[in-house]
């Protein structure tokens, strides 16, 4: 069995963003040489997400509006976590959007359903943060 591990680094200039990381994950898969197996992609920070959905800008806007209703950034003082920080909302948004995805690898390709793409969700950016890619298989 082969194993592969890589960290993808992001430095998002805004507080929030959704980035399609599918091409980067596909590069990892090619590098790994794995043809049949599983790929795990997870955010290594508790204020960022990795999730699978459609690469459609209207939907991304809708996610943003929905998350801002669920966990508004302001007023910062509404959160107990923000006694020493200002990112309580980012922790909550990450919790809703998820930590990781697992995708099957079949014949050397990501075995997606229709329109599935992998996204990095940033909720407290403006600093360097990582995503872990782990691949196992043969
Ligand atoms: Zn925090």
State in Å: Cα 70 to ligand 1 middle.
17
Task: Give pLDDT tens digits for 30-70.
Answer: 999 999 999 999 999 999 999 999 999 999 999 999 999 99
From ligand 1's centre to the CA of 84, what distance in Å?
A: 8
Task: State residue 129's pLDDT score.
Answer: 98
The answer to whether the beta carbons of residues 7 and 95 sit under 8 Å apart is: no
pLDDT tens for 92-126 read 999 999 999 999 999 999 999 999 999 999 999 99
97 by DSSP, 3-state: which? Answer: helix
pTM: 0.97
Centre of ligand 1 to C-alpha 126, Å, is 14
SS3 category, 114: coil
CATH (residue range 2-137): 2.60.120.460
């Amino acid at each position: 069995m082969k194993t592969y591990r890589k960290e993808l680094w992001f430095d998002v200039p805004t507080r929030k963003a959704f980035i399609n990381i599918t091409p980067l994950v596909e590069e990892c898969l090619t590098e790994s040489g794995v043809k049949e197996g599983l790929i795990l992609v997870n955010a290594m920070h508790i204020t960022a997400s990795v999730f699978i959905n459609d690469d459609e800008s209207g939907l991304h806007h809708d996610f943003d509006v929905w998350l801002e209703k669920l966990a508004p950034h302001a007023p910062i003082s509404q959160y107990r976590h923000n006694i020493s920080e200002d990112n309580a909302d980012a922790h909550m948004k990450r919790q809703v959007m998820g930590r990781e995805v697992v995708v099957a690898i079949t014949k050397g390709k990501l075995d997606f359903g229709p329109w599935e793409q992998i996204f990095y969700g940033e909720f407290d950016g403006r600093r360097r943060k990582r995503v872990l890619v782990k691949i196992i298989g043969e």
